[in-house]
Amino acid sequence: MSVDLALIFAIGVLVACGTTLVLERSLTRVLVGFVLLGNGVNLFFIVASGPPGAAPIVGASDERMADPLPQAMALTAVVITLGVTAFGLALAYRTWQLEGHDDVQDDVEDSLVMRRAERDDMSGSFDEVDESLPEEEGADLPSINDELTRENDEDDESPDDGDPR
């Protein structure tokens, strides 16, 4: 089995460039990177399918048949890449309409958490445990059986002096 080194080099270049672009902040670059990654993976499917052969129709030829599975996977990957590209284009266009650019901004909460972690500061939402307050999940609340038992005990201990007042 011979392997085409030019295709393997092209796969490496496409995947490396695609990965680099996907890590950018601009949605347009992320989209181009995703398309490059998809094409690199499709080339990988074609190289992995082996040497070309006859059409996979039984009885059509006496030659060795090509494996149809990698071709079907590449076709499926092309369709999925097209759909994701259309969705990414819509997101980039909408972001450009709203903000005038297509850069992905940092989340405000994430940056707040990052600054607090750098200062080694506790979160403002974390409070020290107050023992006088009941637990939020109700684990320390008495159950219904405990309340019934307590009521029965109180009824038994109450003095019954026979005065009907």
For residue range 24-36, what is the model confidence (pLDDT) as tens digits?
Answer: 989 999 999 999 9
Instruction: Give 165's pLDDT tier (boundaries 50, 70, 90).
Output: low
Q: Work out the angle at residue 62's Cα, subtended by the Cα atoms of residues 60 and 66, and round it to the nearest 5 degrees.
A: 75
Total-model pTM: 0.60
Span 9-23, average pLDDT: 95
The pLDDT of residue 19 is above 90: yes
pLDDT tens-digit series, residues 45-56: 888 888 877 777
Query: Beta-carbon neighbour count of residue 121 at 10 Å?
Result: 9
Buried residues in 73-112 as b, exposed as e (16+ CB within 10 A): bbeebeeebeeeeeebeeebeebeeeeeebeeeeeeeeee
Per-residue pLDDT band at 23 (split at 50, 70, 90) = very high
